[in-house]
Amino acid sequence: MPLTFTFTEDALPQGAEQQVVAKLTDAMLKWHGLTGNKVMIPTITGQVHVMPKGRTFTGGKELSGAWVEWKTPSFAFATREIQIGYAEEATNIVHEASGGKLQKNQIWFNVVHAVDGAWSIDGKAMTNAELGDAISKG
């Protein structure tokens, strides 16, 4: 389940992105009751995109910011409790990592859900039911 963490250069101290990705991943597992799940953990991947100043915007105007985006099967982030809790925790993780440089209104979170059956583990396309079964064994 890929995490894409994007931020404007200089929004975070040099090297902080590794710690942020680890904390965002741990929080995702926690909110889904999957901490320590041996099947789930290796399926969580991450990418960091550092954008040059002048390349990030809000309302069409230049702004330094950070974006946390997950791509997941549709059963992830499915309850309002998880959505609210994770959004708050992720925002706090990034805000604290920035040393307060990024205000909370400069940090965004979203989830993109895959079509059922369009998710793979080890090169095998799996339905939500198959994924759920695999994860339950972890």
- Alpha-carbon distance of 26 to 20, in angstroms, equals 10
For residue range 25-80, list pLDDT tens digits in order: 999 999 999 999 998 899 999 999 999 999 999 999 999 999 999 999 999 999 99
In this model, does residue 135 exceed pLDDT 90?
no
Residue 121 pLDDT level (bands cut at 50, 70, 90): confident
Percent of the chain with pLDDT over 70: 100
Domains of the chain: 3-136 (3.30.429.10)
Work out the mean pLDDT of the chain and round it to a whole number: 95
Give CA 67 to chain center in angstroms.
Answer: 9
Are the CB atoms for 124 and 26 separated by under 8 Å?
no
Burial class (CB within 10 angstroms; exposed 0-12, middle 13-18, buried 19+) of 119: buried
- What's the pTM? 0.93
DSSP secondary structure code for residue 52 in this structure: P
In this model, does residue 9 exceed pLDDT 90?
yes
